Amino acid sequence: MIQWGWIDGVAELARRLRNLEEQTKKTSVSDVHEIETMPCIAQDNSSTDMRQTHSGPNAEKIFATPFKFSGQIALRRLSMICSSTAGNNTDIGLCLYALNDFSRVDTENPRSRKNPILQKVLSEQWFNADGADHRRLDVNYTRTPLLSTANALYYAAWTVSNGEGRVFCANPAPGAIDASKSFRGAFLTNGTASAGAAFPDTLTIVGDATIPATPCVIGRSRVGIRVFGSFTDD
């Protein structure tokens, strides 16, 4: 039978998924190989998707957004795309946190009970963005943390040193600039951080993020298999 057009694409995807399944059978590492805070829907990395998340009064405040996955992953790296406005510098920081006490949160509405308290997981990373070029900020783990949703919920926490910083927050439609179309899964915490002052050991979620934009943060496993391809490929 001859297949053509989009049918060929589906057949190729099926083949790659079969190969993925065969490879994962040969390892004891968990079957989750990539997690993300939100899907990379726009994909075009145009300037309208590089969003300001921290206005001047909110500089260095820490925002957090939950990872949405079920299962466990041996985490090797977190990645986020960042930049600055043309001719300006900004420091952008990224760190992983865990919420261990499930009694303090409703997963459908993370602030419907007591204010959730987050615990820092291992290291953080900072990047000094200089100009409008998009760069990938990586947090690489030499001691691989095993994340399991049976034990905790996990959050990517980020901060920006001034209003010139931008992070990749994909809109539902490429090039969309209507703020009402941006994902709103980010929360304000009680903490601050800077390149000279580390992310604190604990954070408390106290409200909604002041700007309705949620960055796409990708977590890669130790196995590092990626089916569809993304900015984390290497």
What pLDDT tens digit does each residue of the chain (234 aa) get? 444 454 566 777 777 777 766 765 555 555 688 888 876 654 444 556 788 899 888 999 999 999 988 888 989 999 999 999 988 999 999 999 999 877 666 555 655 556 778 999 999 999 999 887 888 999 999 888 899 988 898 999 999 999 999 998 876 555 555 555 555 678 899 999 999 899 999 999 888 888 778 898 999 887 765 555 555 555
| pLDDT recorded at residue 46 | 52
Q: Where are the beta strands (DSSP E) in 20-177?
A: 34-36, 50-51, 61-66, 72-84, 89-99, 117-130, 135-140, 146-148, 153-160, 165-168
pTM reported for the whole predicted model: 0.79
**Which one-letter amino acid corresponds to residue 10?**
V
| pLDDT recorded at residue 45 | 46
Beta bridge partner(s), residue 72: 148
| pLDDT recorded at residue 70 | 83
